[in-house]
Chains A and B, each alone.
Chain A
Amino acid sequence: MSFLVLFVEETFATAELAGETSSSNPTLRKSWHLPKESLKNGLQSFIQTHSPDKAVEKVYLIDRFTKKILKFRLGGSVALITSPGLSKYHELTLQGTYGDQRFHPESKPALSSEDLRFEILDTGKCLTEIEPKLKLMGCKRILTHHPELRPESEVTKSLEALGYEIHCIPFRSSLEEVRRGLLSLSVQGTFEDLENEIRGALGDGIQILWLGDKGFQKNLIPDRFGFLSSWPENKKEQIFMGWDQFYFLKSGLPATTLEAGFGSVFEFESASYQWTSNQSLDPGPMSFGRGQKLMALDFFVEEFLHQGFLSELINKEKFESKWNMQWKVCQKFHPKLTPANLREEWMELILIEAFNRGASENLIISGPAAHLIQPMIQKARSPLLKKIQIQPQFHFSNWIAL
């Protein structure tokens, strides 16, 4: 039996075809990288080329949404039914220090629109008053935060029978759980789109398992945003380099995102420059004809071309003219800066972040995109980079048994 491991990020996806000889020791047959926008066609041709006779029965899907999606104001799609006074619970926020609590002044997304928030004491109103309104507004998803609305409640079952997708958050849930539930339901459509694309390529009968907090599962609501709740004890600590985001994985700790992954944007001002998370809806990389700003991944275009990796998608001439334009402006302010120096500083930044999260000096670099930095590490002058080890071969298939 064959299975497919699919790692999907904002810009690229990596597919691995493996044979399941035993669950703890899968055999990798082939891996392939492809741009995310042509996922369906790419998967189809990958399977036809490498597994024309053996049907793929399962897809293990690893898809961590970027932080960006959490910042969007998602609204309108999810109804929220709560006990009195709690319909704005998920919006509570505070700036500054108050007592011994500290909060960041970041805006929180408005996850449910005003019209779709209902505070009720009597749950019977769900069917008599709320349901007709939802029907009118075409809302099909409901999150409840009410002591009397549980999955086994009659009202809940009646609503399900009417075709509503309901998720009941336990009444004494933390603010974070309520937000996660709402967010998960809000972006349900996006997940469904991805599932549909995979089914379109591999057939409706395919079984799709998502990686969440508790390993691979069929249905992750409300844990769509879980990655790995903790990295197994027997695994080495590492920086996992994805196509957009990097994660620090250390045994016994949840995976944490590092800020300046390949998807981060290079921004320069008069006397300083920095890497910021990409908030644009057109994310890049510029070398692939996307985005308007230089992304970290764009600094490795030579490696893309040298390794023949997706090189058919790179328009070198067009990119070079854009690159020269931006780099010229940057050099006005920073005449001594070279792309090589900048790349080393960027890698130092990633290491500092990992050290700050408790990394030791024995950490390794792994992940589908790690090979892109190998030439840079070999030539590095920075004392910090000379200590780095890169895992030469990385396979997602090894994660299946985690």
Chain B
Amino acid sequence: MTRFKSLFKNFESFAVTNSAGQILISQNTFRLPLASLKSLTQMQQMFCNLQPGDIAVSNDVNTVSCGFNQLILTLCFSLGQPLYLHIPLELPKIFPLGLKIDQEYLRLPTLPIVSQGKVQSDLISNVSTHPLAPPRLKESLLGAVDALMSFLKLINQLSGLNLINEALGLLKTSKQVLSQELHQLELFETTSRMNLSTGETLEARVRTSEDGLHVDFKGTTPAQSLFIAEHITQSACLQAFKDFYFPKHSLDQNWLEFLNLTIPESFLNCKKIPSQSLCAYYGYELIYSFVIQSFCKNTHRLRGSSPLIPSYLVLPQSNICLEIPASLGAIQDAKDELGYSPFLAWNDSVLNHLFLTQSPLRLEKFYPRVDRHGKGQADGSHGAHLEFVANEKITAIYVTENGITQVKSNKQGPVDIGELILNEDRKTPISRTQTLQLESGDRISILSPGGGAIA
């Protein structure tokens, strides 16, 4: 811990750039648009003329954010020179799969929401009452603004300390350390391919060398129903590289210099993302998991995991939407050398919520769905088997992709398809959207498919 690092301790996920857009320090950057922070910083300077103390917000998925439901807040502050603190604000995912609750997200131009020390309450209220605004947008924005204003107060308390030199020293050291560690990296070259259930093919030639990571997406097909912006592809590749090889490091400008991407015209560098595109929500996760799998293929360190879009169980009356991941990630490998799962997996709070609250649909049992995943050089991770009991008469909507299309692995597989069992009535294959009228005491089981293997 250094003085400069400890300034940002209250932010779980953040990145700090200087006025040239260089990343000085960052933390927990999963789904942070690292590749677009330079253009974001310049955009905020140009359009909002941000001065120390000002905050701007942006969510343009074509150029800045990693999903329609992600806002990026930028605070300008001064430590002898102007710096920019960027934090993500993840809003609830609005349903993209053709349900009635489907809705396009509000797209914000770059907006100054704190200017000359004053919170622009009218502006925030107007944005929040827009028909396309997600629920509780105002509260979420004001909460994030509060956190940034507390940070400003801290900066003011510390006037007189020379912290910028410390930041530059950290950046310099990180470059040397990274360069040394890259020299020790095992050199490899591999080509990975994945046929996605939506029809597209994702292909990449991944190569490590002493000057960094090279990813060439040659062979990836043009956009049909998946659309991902280039900055999202870049950010996800960078994060995957860091997480897999250097999980304890934090990302800064030096990392960008060690990542060499070649992206031919394909669904990975779309200029304009259609509002109903699934990948406007999950594109980052898709690329991240795919690149991680390519590394797995080389090192055999971890299980593979198919980058599937999760399923959902929606209880419209209760305004509850449970995300059900396609696979459990590397829970089975909790003792592997990294010691944690780099994949999407069940999270603590979902389970806590289901166990602890008086949910109208209670989670009764939770099993890994053992031995149904893809087998290969790197096995897919296990699926989940969840059994719910209805506590009252409710309507539940189950939405899935993996129930109707088999998960395609690289070569090995395919793994199982997802299943839905209502009171022992096995429904397979299930349609993309299934509405269930549940009586009190009814039981439903959801079996997610598990991950595909790497050949």
Stretch of A62-70, A195-203, A344-352 contacting B (4+ beta carbons < 8 Å): A344-352
Within 8 A of A (CB), among B1-35: 1-3, 5-7, 9-10, 12-13, 28, 30-31
Stretch of B46-54, B168-176, B198-206, B405-413 contacting A (4+ beta carbons < 8 Å): B168-176
Quick one: CB contact mask for A9-38 with B, threshold 8 Å, 1 for yes? 000000000000000000000000000000
Within 8 A of A (CB), among B294-346: 323, 329, 331, 334-335, 338-346
Collect the chain B residues with CB atoms within 8 Å of residue A332's CB: none
Contact B7 A270 (CB under 8 A): no
Quick one: CB contact mask for B89-105 with A, threshold 8 Å, 1 for yes? 01111000000000000
Stretch of A101-109, A186-194, A285-293, A312-320 contacting B (4+ beta carbons < 8 Å): A101-109
Given known contacts A99-B93, A102-B13, is B367 in contact with A85 (CB within 8 Å)?
yes
Stretch of B158-166, B214-222, B227-235 contacting A (4+ beta carbons < 8 Å): B158-166
Quick one: CB contact mask for A88-120 with B, threshold 8 Å, 1 for yes? 110111111111111111111010000000000
Q: How far is the CA of A175 from the CA of B347 in the complex (A)?
A: 10
Contact A272 B366 (CB under 8 A): no
Interface status of B352 (Cβ within 8 A of chain A): yes
Collect the chain A residues with CB atoms within 8 Å of residue B243's CB: 95-96, 105
Collect the chain A residues with CB atoms within 8 Å of residue B5's CB: 274
Collect the chain B residues with CB atoms within 8 Å of residue A306's CB: none
Q: How far is the CA of A383 from the CA of B161 in the complex (A)?
A: 8
Contact A383 B160 (CB under 8 A): yes
Contact B340 A384 (CB under 8 A): no
Contact A275 B352 (CB under 8 A): no
Q: How far is the CA of A171 from the CA of B2 in the complex (A)?
A: 42
Q: How far is the CA of A105 from the CA of B30 in the complex (A)?
A: 11
Contact B331 A91 (CB under 8 A): yes
Q: In angstroms, how far is the closest chain B Cβ from the Cβ of A275?
A: 5
Instruction: Out of A107, A269, A345, name the residue touching B340 (CB < 8 Å).
Output: A107
Instruction: Out of B7, B90, B339, B342, name the residue touching A100 (CB < 8 Å).
Output: B90
Q: In angstroms, how far is the closest chain A Cβ from the Cβ of B342?
A: 5
Interface status of B126 (Cβ within 8 A of chain A): no
Contact B2 A349 (CB under 8 A): yes
Collect the chain A residues with CB atoms within 8 Å of residue B367's CB: 84-85
Q: In angstroms, how far is the closest chain B Cβ from the Cβ of A146?
A: 12
Collect the chain A residues with CB atoms within 8 Å of residue B342's CB: 95-96, 105
Contact B176 A270 (CB under 8 A): yes
Collect the chain B residues with CB atoms within 8 Å of residue A272's CB: 2, 166, 169-170, 172-173
Contact B92 A100 (CB under 8 A): yes
Collect the chain A residues with CB atoms within 8 Å of residue B161's CB: 348, 382-384
Please give me the residue from chain A that is nearest to B285 by CB atom: A98
Q: How far is the CA of A272 from the CA of B2 in the complex (A)?
A: 9
Stretch of A209-217, A219-227, A322-330, A353-361 contacting B (4+ beta carbons < 8 Å): A353-361
Collect the chain A residues with CB atoms within 8 Å of residue B343's CB: 95
Contact A104 B28 (CB under 8 A): yes
Please give me the residue from chain B that is nearest to A356 by CB atom: B9
Q: How far is the CA of A380 from the CA of B12 in the complex (A)?
A: 33
Interface status of B351 (Cβ within 8 A of chain A): yes
Collect the chain B residues with CB atoms within 8 Å of residue A84's CB: 365, 367
Contact B349 A101 (CB under 8 A): yes
Q: How far is the CA of A384 from the CA of B93 in the complex (A)?
A: 44
Quick one: CB contact mask for B225-247 with A, threshold 8 Å, 1 for yes? 00000000000000100010001
- The majority secondary structure among interface residues of chain A is loop
On chain A, the number of residues with a Cβ less than 8 Å from chain B's Cβ atoms is: 52
Contact A97 B28 (CB under 8 A): yes
Given known contacts A97-B28, A99-B323, A101-B349, is B334 in contact with A88 (CB within 8 Å)?
yes
Interface status of A48 (Cβ within 8 A of chain B): no
Q: How far is the CA of A105 from the CA of B345 in the complex (A)?
A: 13
Contact B92 A259 (CB under 8 A): no
Q: How far is the CA of A173 from the CA of B385 in the complex (A)?
A: 20
Interface status of A86 (Cβ within 8 A of chain B): yes
Interface status of A281 (Cβ within 8 A of chain B): no
Contact B1 A355 (CB under 8 A): no
Q: In angstroms, how far is the closest chain B Cβ from the Cβ of A47?
A: 39
Interface status of B154 (Cβ within 8 A of chain A): yes
Contact B351 A92 (CB under 8 A): yes
Instruction: Out of B28, B88, B160, name the residue touching A384 (CB < 8 Å).
Output: B160
Collect the chain A residues with CB atoms within 8 Å of residue B157's CB: 355, 361, 384
Instruction: Out of B6, B30, B88, B341, name the residue touching A349 (CB < 8 Å).
Output: B6
Among B1, B92, B93, B334, which residue has the most Cβ atoms of chain A within 10 A? B1
Collect the chain A residues with CB atoms within 8 Å of residue B366's CB: 85-86, 89
Collect the chain A residues with CB atoms within 8 Å of residue B335's CB: 110
Among A99, A172, A275, which residue has the most Cβ atoms of chain B within 10 A? A99
Among A86, A91, A100, which residue has the most Cβ atoms of chain B within 10 A? A100
Collect the chain A residues with CB atoms within 8 Å of residue B334's CB: 88, 91, 93, 108, 110
Please give me the residue from chain B that is nearest to A260 by CB atom: B1
Please give me the residue from chain B that is nearest to A73 by CB atom: B335
A sample of 6 inter-chain contacts (CB < 8 A) reads A83-B365, A86-B366, A92-B345, A92-B346, A105-B243, A353-B1
Nearest first, the 4 closest Cβ-Cβ pairs linking A and B are A96-B30, A107-B339, A271-B172, A272-B169
4 further interface pairs, Cβ-Cβ under 8 Å (given A101-B350, A105-B340): A89-B351, A89-B366, A94-B347, A96-B31
